Structure 1
Amino acid sequence: MHASSSGLSAQQSAASDYDAVPVGLCVLSRDLRFLRVNETMAMFNGYAPEEHIGRTVSEIVPDMEDVARGLMKKITDTGETIGPFEVAGKTPAEPGEQRFWMEFWSPVTDVQGHIVGASVAAVEITERKRLAREKDQALRVTERRLQQQTAIAEIGQLALQDTALQIVLNRIVEAAAIALDVPLTKVLAFEDTADQLKLVAGVGWAEGLVGVASVGIERESQAGYPLLSGELIIVDELALEERFSGPPLLKEHGVVSGMSVTIAGPEGRPYGVIGIHATDRRAFDRGDRDFLLSLAAIISNAVRKEAAKTQSTLLIREMSHRAGNMLQLVSSIAAQTFRQAKDPDEAREAFNQRLASLARANHAIAQQGWSDTRFQKVAEDTLSPVAARIRMEGRDIQLPAELCFDRIHPA
């Protein structure tokens, strides 16, 4: 009696341990019926342990039937254990959710040594997989941000150097394609007619289009919308876009998603638009948007620098031309003054006054930044020594800087 009681106690203890372990355990027959299931495995599957007994895998977890059938065949054919290996599927415990387990299958034999089923041990790794995915995603985002910031630093340095604008534009569209992982990038710039934007730089477009292709700027177009709205726009799916229509240029290249933003130009006018495009549906985050805005700012600064350089060249050329004219004017004033003068002292005084008037005219124009200057302003400054003897009447006009010295000739 005592031995029998001990044996029963041991069996009860083993059964209790079988249920209590944090590993999913079950025994399956060759036809995939549950013969034994512990609490952990039952929790994985979404049924009570007793609800499993005698029912098939297809009845309890139909999403796992094909995998289970293949494993059972391998067990019965080879008699070898399998695992550990990863299994993915869905169960009634969490409908619609993809879950993951590490499993180990081993053959179960009868007293004659025939394989009658398989013993299965499973550990859920869904949370571990989720954390790993999040870690990988965070790492990819960090790498992309680093790539974007490096590109901004390199291009910014290039733009600060004495580099041609076209070289800067080409480098920017290349960097945008790499850092944002998109096949198509572009910079559109206003043409002389100001009603079209030309594709002045780009990556991924059909051969011969860069430097030739143009798009309209109406509000209904994707290029025109950011110009008129002044905002960075994001297109999730071009075919479903209601704010504007995609131009043929984008549709012919299979564009689905993208971003575009205006590039500021000199004197308050926009230079054009920078855009990036993908041929699949993309989700662009704040870092991606900031990166595109940074590229637009670099282009804007490069455009202003190029315009200032051009203006400086023109100004130096104009100053050289004006210097020659000024010397001729001084020579003319001197000849006119001393030819008519009878008293050397009076001649010297008149010459000094005329030179002073010429200097005042020059100062008036310089104050306007060598731009258009009011005629009245130039006349008043030039003739101030004799203002008491002069009355000025009539409509005031704006004189271009290059005409001021030609029109104001102190007498």
Structure 2
Amino acid sequence: MVIAGAGPVGQFAALLLALRGHAVTLVEAETAPMLDHRASTFHAPTLDMLDEVGVGAALVARGRICRDWEVRLHPSGRRAVFDMAPIADATAHPYRLQCEQWELQALLRERLAGLCPVLAGHRVTGFAQDDAGVRVAVEGPEGPRSLRAKFLLGCDGARSRVRQAMGLAFEGVTYPETTYLTTTRFPFDEAIPGLGDVAYCWWEDGGNFSLLHMADCWRVSIYTRDDVPIEAQMTQAAVQASLRRIADPGRDFELGLEPRLYRVHMRAAERYVDGRVALAGDAAHINSPVGGMGLNGGLHDAHELVRALLPALAGADHAPLLARYDRRRRPVARDEIMLQADRARARMRERDPARRLALLAGLQAIADDPRRLREYLLQSSMIAGLRRAAAIA
């Protein structure tokens, strides 16, 4: 087995396979682990899956358990709070975990040590397949080489070379807004009365931001203004001014890593499988980060893909198994992950004050109704989507 991409999705797939005795080679373009702001939310079923490979408990120990999340108007504090206790019968982890993506990658890397080789500084550039397997073209510091495998998994991100070699477009949209992300140790929970660990916030005088409480800091995501050049909003003075607008106007905030600027996309491949080659994670689909579903969806892809591959590696016909993987995961990405993330993004981008109040009232009504709250939490935590996918034959 060759897996392109040693990010969390590729590593997770490799570990699921290697623990069952299958030979796996990871091919990774980077030469060293990336320590930057990427995904940070882990939903309940993802943690259940990570328990299967022995890294769930260690990840929980490195992160912050968040037993509820909220949408609020700032600074008035009017909010809808979603307590996740009602889904305790559906998961061993009835909460969101806030933890940096690199922590998961480090745990998976430790778990994989000695189980599979990693070709760092190498890229998969193409493939040719036949009835027995795949010849994978790889480019590295010492020039081109090829690897022979029964299957090739493309877990190599949004710019996937595997997807390109499959001849697939990456249809979708790029949203017009730009967001920047920074971190600080400032105790927002002490400065903002009643603030929870995960808060999606509207400024009452316009704009929006989010606050995510990590193990040792707060992540702050702020949508940039349309009427001010982005470069002007990324200066130290401008970032400090935005943080003062959230809390404590009189202080200078100590920041963590350099603020990261990013655009938001919603795109998907038209299919995930071509013979013995399959896509998972960002190589297959990307979405708005609001709600924290992107990384989770990629890990769910890997879990389902390995479930399809195990009988194929034991001699079963791979075609119907991988076709089932496509039938299950592609609709989930389209109708669950991407649609939910798009709706959450549109909600937070709403600027009309009256419409915001109506949206908030609707969310409060859900939070106050036990039946609706449970249904909403099963959906937002991705449990409902996984159940619907599992029912597809």
Shorter-chain-normalised TM-score: which range?
A: under 0.3
Relative contact order (C-alpha < 8 Å, sep 6+): which is higher?
Answer: 2
TM-score, normalization by structure 2? 0.20
The structure carrying a bigger helix percent of its residues is 1
TM-score, normalization by structure 1? 0.20
The structure carrying a bigger strand percent of its residues is 2
Larger radius of gyration: 1
